[in-house]
Amino acid sequence: MARSDLKRLVPTASEELRRILDAARGPVQPPNRSEIFGPRRFEQHGRSLAQAQHAKTAPTRSTAFFPRLRDNVRTLREANHYIGTQLHTGYDVSPAAEWLLDNFHLIEAQLKEIHEGLPRRYFRDLPVLLDEPLAGLPRIYGVAWAFVAHTDGAFDEELLEHFLVAYQRVHELTLGELWALSTTLRVVLIENLRRLAERLATHKAARELANLCGDHLDDYTDATLDELLALLNRRGVGGVFLAQIAQRLQDPSAITDPSTRHLEWLRRVMPDPFEVRTQLPVEQAADNLSVSNAIGSLRLIGNADWPDIVARVSATMQALLGSPSFEAERDDTRDQTLHAIEALARRSHRSELAVARTLLELMHEAAVADRGSPERASSAARHWLRGAGRGVLLRRLGLSDRGAALRRVLRRRVALPAYLGSLAAGTAALVAWMLVRHGAVPPDASALPLWLTAMSAALMLFPASEAVVAMINRLIAEWARPHRLARLALAQGIPSEHRVLVVIPGMLTSPAMVSSLTHRLQLHYLANPERHAQFALLTDWADADTATQSFDSALLDAAVARIDALNTRHPVEAGRAPRFIVLHRTRQFCETERRFIGWERKRGKLEQLIDALAQPAAAPHTPPAFVDLGTASHVEPGAAYVVTLDGDTQLPPGRLRELVGVAAHPDNRPVVDTARRIVTSGYRILQPRVATPLPAPRDMTAYHWLFAGQCGIDPYSAASSEVYQDVFREGTFTGKGLLNVRAMHAVLSGRLPAGRVLSHDLLEGSLARCAAVTDINVIEDAPFHADVAASRVHRWMRGDWQLLPFIFNPKRYAIRAINRWKMLDNLRRSLVAPMSLGLMALVLATGVVNPWAALALIYVAFAAGPLIGSVAGFSPSRDAIAKRHFYRRAIADLLRALCGGLWQVAQLLQLALMSADAVLRALWRLTVSRRSLLEWTTAAAAQATASTRLPTLVRRHWAAPVAAAVLLAGLWAAGTPTPWLAAL
């Protein structure tokens, strides 16, 4: 009604003008502005405010934390649009309005910042105020409101610290409240900006309305003006309207009779025009300052170091920082500790400070008991909050630890049977559904013997299990929270007690290979220039029929020369071993290979190196198993870790420090049972996530596009899921990662049989506990050629089947059940292609199952994993994304998954032949010949022999078309062809 009244009184007013001045919206609220306080006065106000505020724990369904935030944004947009229109039409605007127009993009961005800063459910646990005017809102909102009011919206860390510390001398603020302060301050500033912007817009609109009335003032009676003034007073801008009318009446050209009734009306409604005229400029100047302060504060709040601010003002944080182990941790690890303390405080109905003090008491008692062993896990807070000491802490707090004990039992005793049981049940259900839904129908079914149905079911188990494993692993990945390991900050770099040796195992086969390896070593250092890190080439010569070759010395001399050049370019302090070294071994005769090779290949190099590093040494030296090359082979003593990387692996900047930070945390340090030679807690190996780089355009191939997945590194990605780590707390070692020297020596030195272990990574990870650190990545390219990939997969399969003695004798090597399953799962996966081919041959020959259904099952087996991931990729994780680009990439990923599955099905015969060859070759060598168990082709050698020329491909893959012809002939010779086969 008010808007229509305004239209009736001033017909020339625009719709936007009437909407802004609509009296039904109520008076414009004054800005949150009060007396400006200094540090001392803020301390006094903090204490008095804490005494005045009364709060309680929020009810389950408390009011929304964000008071009228969306309405604030809508009003700000309305005001911004109106003021912008006024500016573009030639009207002058105030400096405050210019600030608003120039920085409105920042205000728009705050809505996203506020909603992403902390989820709404987070605020449900915060204490809420009981007294008006902020009753029902979180207590921290009242604290932020007071701070903004007494700084006029100017953000000052020092004043904020004085205020919060003084407040907490009366009432302790929870960690949740302090972490919410950043978002809360933004909300309060947006509220204040809304009031200021609405004030600017309504004042401008009131002056515009006065000008419209002044243009036709003679047409307005006193009663009409009184009615109009009443509407504007209800909006709170009557004084602005009168001031503008008075200014117009001072201009004789504005009206025809300036000395008549209008002046009398103005004197009646504005008895003191001087006060009005002097007050408005003062308010305008104050608004200018408030708007500039608020906009500047939004920037400063976003750039502030809030972890540091919280650490300075939180009593709980100050108490915890008295612990050296907590102080050394990285912020994200500290956050995990703090969240656990918050949860225990809510559960025990104690203050967070009381819980923290109880925790510190336990840590101190453990430190006294373990004096001389500061590296024990009990020195870290996580041991008591999430680890084996949690039960003790719960009992100290008066809580029951039955829930924690039950969770430990479930993880240790129930998790693996439940996981394997779900895989078995899913596989059996899928096979049964295939037989019932797509099996032979009468009268054909009655003619088929039972053994034929059983054979088809046995063959279907393999492709069905592959699809079910992909599905269940994806469900677990979506359900389980990624397990993030604790880590130290190492802000000053890697300390000397955690010295690390970065090694690249390789073979000196050519001058080009020497150049490539040394160049890669230099890149590792340039990306991770740590003072207490040494970088080494760990090399052998290529296999040979004799112990030495004529070109051996030249290759080694070239490697030494390049290492010397690197040391000259990047020198170290006098008396220390050089930064770059080369550790080279001579050939030894291998009985199984009947050739001279480096002992046990890569596994032997690493074992001999770690054996040497585990021995105490006072000065740089050359390990005895390696050729003495002078200073070029001198290892710095005291290396605690070895980081092993392949020759084509890239170590991004900072990753070395991050890996050492994880390994150095007491919670992750391995504890070895020397009698059983097993790691009982902690981790000996850290396996980072391997990402695929963006390929150069000249190297891109269709095969790489199909199977390399999403290339590049997302700088905003967090930890990704790794099922074995998240559920069973053990990852899978793939040959690139960090090794703990002493633990590796204690567990694996001289333990594995010589000449028999080809795929040693999985076995070593099983024996000595490996952790998958998925939030730390290294970069390694995927094969660009199908033959290179096939060569690698063939070697992996042979190595997996050569682990059968370890699988069947787990007690001798103390292999845990989950690791036996990993080995068996690799064997199962290697049989998927041969069994799928056998299934297709069986159903084509007998019709026991619908061939199209069998073909669909095989396709799903190969494509299920990529397809599930690509379909899940259609759900954006963030709102502010380029939707068209996002969905274009998602469709490309889906297309890649579909095409990859089709390629695998088309290559089924080739894959089956390769798998069968690898399995049979490994079994023959393992049980009969005992030869060539260490047969190995380097990736570089496979890449060098790869070719796309037709003659080469025919010569290399002639067996596939021959096998296809033989298979087809065998199907025809078996008897009358089925309708399916006849259709071919």
H, E, C per residue of 917-964: HHHHHHHHHHHHHCCCCCCCCCHHHHHHHCCCCHHHHHHHCCHHHHHH
Q: CB of 350 within 8 A of CB of 397?
A: yes
Q: Is 93's pLDDT higher than 90?
A: no
* pLDDT value, residue 893: 84
* pLDDT value, residue 653: 95
925 to 139, 675, 931, 932: CA distances (angstroms): 73, 33, 6, 7
Which H helix or E strand runs over 564?
helix 552-569
Q: CB of 199 within 8 A of CB of 287?
A: yes
Q: Which of 587, 586, 574, 585 is nearest to 631 (CA)?
A: 574
* Mean pLDDT of the 131-146 span: 89
pLDDT, tens digit, for every residue of 548-588? 999 999 999 999 999 999 999 999 988 899 999 999 999 99
Question: Coil, strand, or helix at residue 137?
Answer: coil
Q: Is 393's pLDDT higher than 60?
A: yes
* pLDDT value, residue 547: 92
* Mean pLDDT of the 187-216 span: 86
By the 10 Å C-beta count (0-12 exposed, 13-18 middle, 19+ buried), 850 is classed as middle
Does the pTM surpass 0.75? The reply is yes
**Alpha-helix residue ranges (DSSP H) falling in 250-389:** 261-269, 273-303, 306-313, 315-320, 324-328, 331-348, 352-369, 381-385
Which one of 28-32, 709-713, 830-834, 885-889 scores highest in mean pLDDT? 830-834
Comparing 739 with 811, which gets the higher pLDDT?
739
Residue showing tokens 């909300």: 187
CA atoms within 13 A on the CB side of 710: 13
Peptide bond into 133 cis (omega under 30): yes
Q: Is 196's pLDDT higher than 80?
A: yes
What distance in Å separates the CA atoms of residue 652 and residue 777, rounded to the nearest whole number? 8
Mean pLDDT, rounded, of the chain: 85
Q: CB of 445 within 8 A of CB of 439?
A: yes
Burial call 84-104: b when 16+ CB within 10 Å, e when fewer:
eebeeeeeeebebbebbeebb
pLDDT, tens digit, for every residue of 465-517? 999 999 999 888 888 888 889 999 999 999 999 999 999 999 999 999 999 99
What distance in Å separates the CA atoms of residue 539 and residue 585, rounded to the nearest whole number? 7
pLDDT, tens digit, for every residue of 421-446? 999 999 999 999 999 888 765 545 55
Q: Which of 149, 141, 146, 154 is nearest to 180 (CA)?
A: 141
Question: Coil, strand, or helix at residue 213?
Answer: helix
At 866, list the tokens. 């990529």
* Mean pLDDT of the 80-84 span: 82
* pLDDT value, residue 940: 67
Q: Is 936's pLDDT higher than 60?
A: yes
What distance in Å separates the CA atoms of residue 709 and residue 889, rounded to the nearest whole number? 12
Residue 911's CB: how many other CB atoms inside 10 A? Answer: 21
Instruction: Give percent above pLDDT 90 in the chain.
Output: 39
Residue 615's CB: how many other CB atoms inside 10 A? Answer: 11
Residue 140's CB: how many other CB atoms inside 10 A? Answer: 27
pLDDT, tens digit, for every residue of 643-664? 999 998 999 999 999 999 999 9
- Least confident range from 15-29, 163-177, 958-972: namely 958-972
Question: Coil, strand, or helix at residue 138?
Answer: strand
What distance in Å separates the CA atoms of residue 830 and residue 905, rounded to the nearest whole number? 15
Q: Is 52's pLDDT higher than 50?
A: yes
Q: Is 531's pLDDT higher than 60?
A: yes
Widest distance between CA atoms in the chain: 123
Q: Is 379's pLDDT higher than 80?
A: no
* pLDDT value, residue 720: 61
Q: Which of 13, 139, 123, 124 is nearest to 59 (CA)?
A: 124
Instruction: Give percent above pLDDT 70 in the chain.
Output: 89
Q: Is 53's pLDDT higher than 50?
A: yes
What distance in Å separates the CA atoms of residue 415 and residue 432, rounded to the nearest whole number? 25
Band (pLDDT 50/70/90 cuts) for residue 877 is low
- Least confident range from 64-73, 114-123, 253-262, 934-943: namely 253-262
Q: Is 459's pLDDT higher than 90?
A: yes
* Mean pLDDT of the 698-720 span: 61
What distance in Å separates the CA atoms of residue 532 and residue 836, rounded to the nearest whole number? 53
At 255, list the tokens. 């009206």
Q: CB of 931 within 8 A of CB of 846?
A: no
Band (pLDDT 50/70/90 cuts) for residue 372 is very low
Q: Is 715's pLDDT higher than 50?
A: no
Band (pLDDT 50/70/90 cuts) for residue 710 is low
CA atoms within 13 A on the CB side of 453: 16
Peptide bond into 834 cis (omega under 30): no
* pLDDT value, residue 499: 96
* Mean pLDDT of the 689-709 span: 76
Q: Is 4's pLDDT higher than 80?
A: no
* pLDDT value, residue 66: 63
* pLDDT value, residue 10: 80
Q: What angle do CA 668, 673, 674 make, to 5 degrees?
A: 125
Residue 56's CB: how many other CB atoms inside 10 A? Answer: 10
- Least confident range from 141-150, 181-190, 263-272: namely 263-272
DSSP assignment, residue 691?
A: E
* pLDDT value, residue 604: 93
Comparing 582 with 942, which gets the higher pLDDT?
582
Which one of 185-189, 699-703, 971-975 scores highest in mean pLDDT? 185-189
Q: Which of 368, 470, 462, 501 is nearest to 840 (CA)?
A: 462
At 304, list the tokens. 């502030």
What distance in Å separates the CA atoms of residue 86 and residue 84, rounded to the nearest whole number? 5
Residue showing tokens 């390929």: 695
* Mean pLDDT of the 796-804 span: 94
Q: CB of 490 within 8 A of CB of 664?
A: yes
